[in-house]
Amino acid sequence: MINWDDARFFLALARRGSLRQAGLELGVDQATVGRRITLLEQQLGAKLFIRTPRHYRPSPLGEALLPQAEAMAQAALAMMRTASLGELEGELCIATTDTLAQGFVLPAFTLLRQRHPGIRHSQRAPRAGRSRGQTARHYQDGALRLSRLPG
C-alpha cells in the first residue's frame, strides 16, 4: 500500500525532476528523497523514474501513477482545509464606510458566521488623522475602501 508520505516524495520528484529540488520543496535533503524513492520502488517492485545524469523523469509506471498521486495531494489539502476551517473563532474588526458595510461587508459576515459561529464581527469607521490600521482606541484587522481605477 502506498501511503501519503510516500506519495509526497514521488510527486515532488516527478514535479521537480531532481533530488535536490524535490528536497527543497519537501524541506529535506536530497539523500532523504533518494532513499525514500528507492524504498518506494523496492516496495512496489518496479522503477518509478528513469534516471539520467541531470534529471529524473517518471517511467511509464510513474506516469500511470502520477494522476493518483495528484489526487492524493488534493485530498490531503482538502482534509487540511476542512480541519482548519472548523477552528475559526475570535473577533474580526473591519474599518470601512457605511455604504460598503451595508452592501458587502455585513452580508459577507453573515455567510461567514453561518460556517463559523465562533467569529464575532465589529466595524469601525476610520477617522481622519489616524494612522493606517488604527481607529479611535482600537486596531482593525483590515480596511475596505473605494478608490478610482488608474488610467
- Could you read off the pLDDT of 37-57 as tens digits, one per residue? 999 999 999 999 999 988 999
Site of grid cell 524535490: 22
Percentage of the chain beyond pLDDT 70 is: 81
**Which CB contacts under 8 angstroms, 24+ apart, belong to 98-103?**
98/125, 100/144, 100/145, 100/146
What is the rounded average pLDDT of the residues 136-143? 61
Q: Note the pLDDT of residue 85.
A: 61
Q: Check pLDDT > 80 for residue 139.
A: no
